[in-house]
A and B are shown apart, each in its own frame.
Chain A
Amino acid sequence: MAELIGSILVLAGAVFHLSAGLGMLRMPDAYTRMQAGTKASTLGNTLVVGGIAFFHPDWTLKLLLVIYFVLMTNPISSHALARAAHRIQVPMTPQTTVDALRDAREQSRGDA
């Protein structure tokens, strides 16, 4: 029974990883690709590691630490990457309507 739940979680995690890969191939520009890759693969990681915890219940604490570490590092690294890309003005797809970071930077430069 526990193995069934664990297997379902691992399968769901694999599906999210697949969607992360698909998103990185199909998205129009660099920023949307970064978003697809990070969000889906972080969730996929969490689900796979959580599924393993059902297979080996005595590893639960170590696996929770692994999940915490992944949740701390993946979003921060993608944030730094996206900010750097915006700084060197990587082009956005023409369907973009709002660029909040550019507006915030111009406002702060106007105030300074």
Chain B
Amino acid sequence: MIRRAGIVLAVALFGLVFARLTVHHVERQSLPPLGKRYVELVPQALGAPNVITGILLTYRAFDTLGEVAVLFMVAAGVGLVLGRREGRNENPLTDAPQPPRQASEIVRTGAQILVPLIAIFAAYIITNGHLSAGGGFQGGAVVASSAILLLLADPRRRFDQQFLSSTESAAGVLFVLVGVAGLIFASGFLDNRVLPLGQFGTFFSAGAIPLLSVLLGAKVGCELSVIIDRFRA
């Protein structure tokens, strides 16, 4: 009774604060100074049409490296919490061991058609990060969704953990090496001008941003696949 009244009171108070925020919200008429500076700088200085990817992979690239570190910690944490459950195939209701079951035919056939499509889509999103909407994080999440589909279609499949973890580490090391090359050859850590800027709007342009997108997409995709693999029954 008191708990219910407390819940209603808390939600009502939050609702009051949110309503006041909504009513007094004034739409911006022009860009704030920092946003305007980024929108002007990224096409000219970096040669990348997509302003958001330019920010994420050059001006704020150090924060992106931190986010990748957070993802790695989460993958390690899930591996720690769910670590000792490998190979247990018990019925969740009665705890009796049962033979590993096969997925239904519809799911298997659908997976055969969809996994190549999803893989092509993920590669497209990752490599087109500097030209249109996309980038490493988004493409990595799509790679992980294809991993889920593979696991659903064939519950007995074992992902090659060694391959996934060595790809992930190699991508991370290469990311930092490209950044250090930016320190040596250009004007700062993870500066994208180590590679030629090329012609604005073509595929091989914007310096090191496509390379960084591919490395980031590979790292995020492998990490999320490892996390999903731990949840296997």
Contact = CB atoms under 8 A, between A and B. Distances in A.
B114 A80 contact: no
Interface in B63-114: 92-93, 103-104, 106-107, 110, 113-114
B10 interface: no
A89 B103 CA distance: 17
B197 interface: no
By DSSP majority rule, is chain A's interface helix, strand, loop, or mixed?
Answer: helix
Q: Is the interface of B mostly helix, strand, loop or mixed?
A: helix
B114 A88 contact: no
Contacts of A88: 92-93
A80 B93 CA distance: 19
B92 A79 contact: no
A91 to B, nearest CB: 12
B146 to A, nearest CB: 12
Contacts of A69: 117
B195 interface: no
A82 B117 CA distance: 24
B52 interface: no
Contacts of B103: 80
Interface of A: 69, 72-73, 76, 79-80, 83, 88-89
9 contacts: A69-B117, A72-B110, A72-B114, A79-B106, A80-B103, A80-B104, A80-B107, A83-B104, A88-B92
